[in-house]
Amino acid sequence: MKVGFIGLGNVGAKLAGSLLRNGHDLTVFDLDAEKVAEFVARGAGQADNAAELMRDNDTVVTCLPSPAICAATVTEMLPEVTAGKTWMEMSTTDETVMKSLAGQVQAAGGSVVECPVSGGCHRADTGNISIFAGCDRPTFERVLPLLTTLGRRVLHTGDIGTASVLKVMTNYLATANLLTCCEALVTMKAAGIDLNTTYEAMKISSGTSFVHETESQVILNGSRDISFTMDLVKKDIGLFQKIAEDAGVPLEISPLMVSMFDDGIAKYGPRELSPNIIKRLEDATGLDITAPGFPTELVDDEPEEEGYEVIPTGRA
């Protein structure tokens, strides 16, 4: 299978790297010529535009920063979509946009898989990230070998749209975890508790979470670098809030989280690293929430393992 990949950003470059590392016939396209050149030097092919990539490959994977950019890219590829072509969308996107774009690709004879990822850039780098896949079952089974190269745990979520909704939900939960970790760390510092001890207490307790065990480390290091920015968090939690509003669910925590990130963006800018939402409390208290011994960036310390399909509890 010849695979094209569009979008060599923080996550996309690592996902594309997994394909290249595992011997897939890969051609890439990105507006950043330097990123493309890096992949070409490693053995990838190069395309000049998205339409060319769809024309010359069996499957095209996109990993792009917004629904609008995704829509523009699909529009460019659409004239080259024919029977046997597959589009795989790995971004966190809007369900309505995804369904509309999928319908256009399918009408042209192509297959579509929405397959957003979860688990952080460090796990995308090792092929150990988790993947949600929304599509019909025959298409899922056909692309499963590719998905299990890109990630370790692959969950078939149902029809197109279901993966987008579930991914937005998980990003909402991760953001809630981040905000509570920030409040916990600042409060413990203010109460005179050692932050290294605080980190371990949180980690070994019922209060731990994936976010604490990863993002709290780069918060305490001071780098705050998880290759994710405040504007992207705002996009994701905004999508979750819209899902709730459309479903008539009167959420209380979600609107507060949106307003907190609105404030963070107003103070520090949309491209500020998302863990620096803690600066709102650092600035308010005058406290420095750093501690020695924590890494500058996250590294996946688990070896790359063969991926597999996750079967939901209660399903045969």
Residue 300 has a pLDDT of 86
Confidence grade of residue 169 (pLDDT, cut at 50, 70, 90): very high
Q: Which residue did the predictor score with more confidence, 80 or 300?
A: 80
Does the reported pTM lie above 0.75? yes
Q: What is the pLDDT of residues 206-258, one digit of tens each?
A: 999 999 999 999 999 999 999 899 999 999 999 999 999 999 999 999 999 99
Please check whether residue 154 is in contact with residue 127, taking contact to mean a CB–CB distance below 8 angstroms.
Answer: no
With tokens 């963070």, the residue in question is 264
Please determine, for residue 66, whether its predicted confidence score (pLDDT) is greater than 90: no
Average pLDDT, integer, range 10-27:
95
Share of the chain above pLDDT 70, in %: 100
Please determine, for residue 93, whether its predicted confidence score (pLDDT) is greater than 90: no
249-258 in b/e burial notation, b at 16+ Cβ within 10 A?
eebeebeebb
Confidence grade of residue 120 (pLDDT, cut at 50, 70, 90): confident
Please determine, for residue 121, whether its predicted confidence score (pLDDT) is greater than 90: no
Domains of the chain: 2-164+303-310 (3.40.50.720), 166-285 (1.10.1040.10)
